[in-house]
Homo-oligomer: A and B are copies of this chain.
Amino acid sequence: MKKVNIAIFGVGRIGKIHLKNLLRFPGVSVVAVADTHYPAEEFKKEFKDVFFSSNPDEVLAMPEVEAVLICTPTSSHAPMIELALKSGKHIFCEKPVDLSLERTKALVDMANQSSAKLMLGFNRRFDPDFLQARRSIQAGRIGDIQIIKITSRDPGLPPLDYIKNSGGLFMDMAIHDFDMARYMMGKEVKEVYSRGLVLVDKQVGEVGDVDTALTTLIFEDDTYAVIDNSRKAIYGYDQRLEVFGNKGMIQVDNNQHNRNVISDADGIHHSLPLDFFMDRYAASYLNEIQFFIDALSKNEPIPVSGNDGLKATIIAVAAKKSVLEGRPVAISEITAGL
């Protein structure tokens, strides 16, 4: 089998995860890594056999590069996607495409008209438990879905600087849950009602964001999803799902640190959920890249398209508007101008 030649743009936290995963994939060759800030010497120390460049253009110009993974900060996603599309490279890009809805729309349109494939990194779809839940639903195990409930709470507040540039809780954090709701339901959202609060840290409010939110999504057929978000659950990273259908219910519980149960005079104690997203979703990161490589090498469909990214972004914009205006917001209000 011919290997797929990949380049990675950005070797920060998430870029390194992908790099290490790809180095273990039999059907992949990592032909280049580009990062405009990362020191070349340091990179060489850790990955001596991988070609490194400080110039993404140089890498895009390499004819052998078939696909790029864009793992740079959010603000450079859009220009990177544009450059890559113009170079005819397939693209895997971390979410979101861009904080601007218009820009996102334009890039997704461009990708749709290109022969290059664009996949968005909604990694949670590839978590083995959620993947299995989706398969059970598709197999008709719980019949027609009536309501989806998602609990999505972080173990702690990110740095304020991060929050300032994140696009806000809905665009940065809840966007994963919006995608998850669409993915499980297999239908489109038509209306959004969100409430947002500052309960974790006042400074979050001072930079114009919320740290706690409750969102109701109304789907085309009037069924709904409810999502509750918090930037801080004291017991750790809380990522649960409940899908209720007319033939049954699927619940996905948290992954815990260990399976040990200790009984003592005070109670029966289980271990906490895994509290770091890279541990919790380690398998998801591995799986999503496998799906991307399979889409390229076996010509299978891209499992998370640019369009999926656009839809989730639209919901995030609607959610923010709903909080500001204290009313349900129709998706058509958001897409009207696009």
Task: Tell yes or no: A260 within 8 A of B by CB.
Answer: yes
Q: In the complex, what distance in Å separates the CA atom of A235 from the CA atom of B266?
A: 7
Asked whether B254 lies within 8 Å of A259 as measured between CB atoms, the reply is yes
Asked whether A142 lies within 8 Å of B264 as measured between CB atoms, the reply is yes
A64-118 interface (Cβ within 8 A of B):
none
Task: Tell yes or no: A261 within 8 A of B by CB.
Answer: yes
Q: In the complex, what distance in Å separates the CA atom of A233 from the CA atom of B247?
A: 8
Chain B residues positioned under 8 Å from A324 (CB to CB): none
Task: Tell yes or no: A53 within 8 A of B by CB.
Answer: no
List the number of copies, as a whole number: 4
A274-301 interface (Cβ within 8 A of B):
none
Asked whether B212 lies within 8 Å of A233 as measured between CB atoms, the reply is no
A105-146 toward B: CB 8 Å interface, digit per residue (1/0)? 000000000000000000000001100110010000110101
Q: In the complex, what distance in Å separates the CA atom of A132 from the CA atom of B129?
A: 24
Asked whether A260 lies within 8 Å of B133 as measured between CB atoms, the reply is yes
A253: which of B147, B261, B264 is its contact (CB, 8 Å)? B261
Q: In the complex, what distance in Å separates the CA atom of A246 from the CA atom of B235?
A: 10
**Whole-angstrom distance between the Cβ of A235 and the nearest chain B Cβ:** 4
**Whole-angstrom distance between the Cβ of A57 and the nearest chain B Cβ:** 32
**Whole-angstrom distance between the Cβ of A143 and the nearest chain B Cβ:** 8
Task: Tell yes or no: A195 within 8 A of B by CB.
Answer: yes
A214: which of B195, B226, B249 is its contact (CB, 8 Å)? B226
Q: In the complex, what distance in Å separates the CA atom of A26 from the CA atom of B267?
A: 34
* Among A28-36, A179-187, A215-223, A311-319, the stretch in contact with B: A215-223
Q: In the complex, what distance in Å separates the CA atom of A259 from the CA atom of B268?
A: 12
Asked whether B265 lies within 8 Å of A268 as measured between CB atoms, the reply is no
Report if A260-B249 is in contact (Cβ < 8 Å); known contacts: A218-B195, A224-B214, A267-B271. no
Q: In the complex, what distance in Å separates the CA atom of A265 from the CA atom of B249?
A: 10
Report if A149-B228 is in contact (Cβ < 8 Å); known contacts: A235-B248, A262-B141, A269-B269. yes
Chain B residues positioned under 8 Å from A253 (CB to CB): 259, 261
Report if A269-B267 is in contact (Cβ < 8 Å); known contacts: A193-B193, A195-B224, A244-B233. yes
**Whole-angstrom distance between the Cβ of A184 and the nearest chain B Cβ:** 12
**Whole-angstrom distance between the Cβ of A204 and the nearest chain B Cβ:** 14
Q: In the complex, what distance in Å separates the CA atom of A77 from the CA atom of B195?
A: 38
Asked whether B248 lies within 8 Å of A136 as measured between CB atoms, the reply is no
Chain B residues positioned under 8 Å from A271 (CB to CB): 132, 267-268
A262: which of B128, B250, B259 is its contact (CB, 8 Å)? B250
Known A-B contacts: A195-B218, A226-B226. Give 19 more (CB < 8 A): A24-B24, A129-B259, A129-B260, A132-B257, A147-B214, A214-B226, A216-B216, A233-B244, A234-B248, A234-B264, A235-B265, A235-B267, A248-B262, A250-B260, A251-B261, A251-B262, A253-B261, A266-B272, A267-B269
